[in-house]
Structure formats: C-alpha cells, structure tokens
A and B are shown apart, each in its own frame.
Chain A
Amino acid sequence: MLAPQLITKLDQRLAKLLEDCSVINAAVVTTADGHMCAMRQGNQDYPLERLATMGSTLMSLGDTITAELKMGTCDNIISENKQGIVAFMHINNNLVLVTLTVQKNALGMLLSHSRRCAEEMAQFV
C-alpha cells in the first residue's frame, strides 16, 4: 500500500478538488488493483469503497479495449447517466481517479478539474 504521508497528500488534493469545483459531488483515488487510497464526498452517501474497486475494473477494461484497437493509452472513461456523470482516469499506471457529479450539463467542468487534479497527483506520487 501507499505510504501514509502520500495518502494524506492525496486526501488533501481531493479536498481541494471538491472546493475548487463545486459541481463535483465525490472523488476517489484507487489503486489499479481496486484498493481505495483516498476519498471525499459532499453531503451524499455514496458507497465509495465499492466505487473504488469498480473504478479499477472499468479502467482496466478501458485499457484492454484501447490496446486491442491500438489507440494508445486510455485517457479517461466517461459514464453519462440519467442522473449524473462519472469520470474515470489514470493518475499513473498504478492509480486511478474517479470523480462524479449529479449535474448532467457539467461534463466539461468535471473533466477539466479532474484532469488537472490527476496531473498534479502524478507529480507527487
């Protein structure tokens, strides 16, 4: 598992993400093999542990698909739903960021803030 200091830093960065972008309702950092590292959510009560493992499953399927199609690496996976959007993206080979919003028209905001967050996290892990 990751070092505790690192987990603290990831956690703080997630807190900042939710502060910076109010449309984001929850965010999770998970290892590629499905272990939750850090999580933040607003007033909601999402099963974030579960979201973490599922995030790793989906990200690996995304990688498998893009490898099969020879499309380079999979940047992110977006799930657009009746009541919101979920985005999955790599932080690096070993970590995945999952973020979600209940606002159906906030895809751009969700993606840009999440991507910046992932890039910054990649710097310090």
Chain B
Amino acid sequence: MSEIKLVFTGSAGAGKTTAISTISEIPVINTDVRSNDFTTHLIRQSIDTSRKETITVAMDYGELTLDDGQKLRIYGTPGQQRFDYMWKILIKGALGLIILVDNAGDDPVGDLARYLDNFREFIKETSAVVGITRMDLSPEPNLEIYHEYMQSHGIRLPIYSVDARSRDSVVMLIHALVAMLEYG
C-alpha cells in the first residue's frame, strides 16, 4: 500500500486539531491562524470561557510510526465550510474518516448531516466513525437524538460521545473505525 492515512474532519471548532495532537508522535504541523470569526467567538464566549482563538485554514498533519516502521499519516481538514476545497484534496487515498461534531454548535445534528453528505461517496467506499465532542458544555442534543437521526436515514456508523482532548477517546474512535473497515 502506498500510503496509510486517516483523516479527521467535522464541524468548526469540534476538536480535530486537538484530537490529532493527542495521538501524533510528532508536534502537529498545523496551519491555524487567529480567528476573525465574530459569530463563532460570540457563541463560544457565552458557553465556554476558554474560547477558541485559532482556526485551521489548510490542514493539520500528524504521524504515528507503526511497529514495522511504516508511518500512519493523520490529516485534519479545516472545519469551516468555506475551505471545502481542502476536504477533497485531503481525503484522497485515505483509509477511513473520523467525523467530529461540536455539540455546543448552533446545529450539531445538521452539521453531522452535512459532513455525512459531503463525504458520502468516500464513506460508501470505505467507512467512517462519528465523535460528538463538547457534550460536557452542551449535553443536548443527546446521543439518542443522533441514534434516531442515523437510524431514520439508514446510516450505520459507529458514534460516540468523546472528548477530543482525551487520548482514550480518540483511540476508541479509531478502534471503531478499524473494526468497521475490517468487518463492517
């Protein structure tokens, strides 16, 4: 196989860059810049004092060396819709996709729907997992709502509530993804 690559995508500020940093063994190469996004700031400020200062405009990149010396390359996409051209570039040749959704966003279920739709072809060919982040800040919608959404749309993918800052959470997501790629 030419390249071993996983991609993190998902809604703005869901924790893609954070998640990649928890498992990468090199300092994550990121292209975050200071955010001017006024609306995002205001929303975040109201629920979260540790408001996010930066956003990814091109990609994140991390690495993990496997036991046989091969490198697992981990890419993160920008979250904001206006950077969607990067999604197509980054997803090429990936083994699987991890979608993170910020539960404290305006319309998290809608966000999930959009990402599932954006990557529909890729998911059909391979697989994906969904991680709902920041549930501690905003417990609603709860997982049941997502289950219902996925069931009613015939989407059969693993979904977890996760904290992108926790390595265990991120490993759990990748574990489910690998299981889907192998058996799903």
Contacts and interface: CB of A to CB of B under 8 A. Distances in A.
Asked whether any CB of A lies within 8 Å of a CB of B in the complex, the reply is: yes
Interface of A: 1, 31-35, 50, 53-54, 56-58, 60-61, 63-64, 68, 93-94
B34 A33 contact: yes
Nearest to B37: A33
A47 to B, nearest CB: 11
B36 A31 contact: yes
B80 interface: yes
Contacts of A31: 36
A82 to B, nearest CB: 20
Q: Pick the most buried of A34, A54, A58, A61: most chain B CB atoms within 10 A of its CB.
A: A34
Interface residues of B, number: 19
Contacts of B83: 34, 53, 57
Contact of A57 (B35, B37, B86): B86
A20 B116 CA distance: 48
A10 B34 CA distance: 20
Nearest to B89: A57
A102 to B, nearest CB: 22
A125 B30 CA distance: 26
Given A31-B36, A64-B29, 16 more contacts: A1-B36, A1-B38, A32-B36, A33-B35, A33-B36, A33-B55, A34-B80, A53-B57, A53-B83, A57-B57, A57-B86, A58-B58, A60-B33, A60-B57, A64-B30, A94-B36
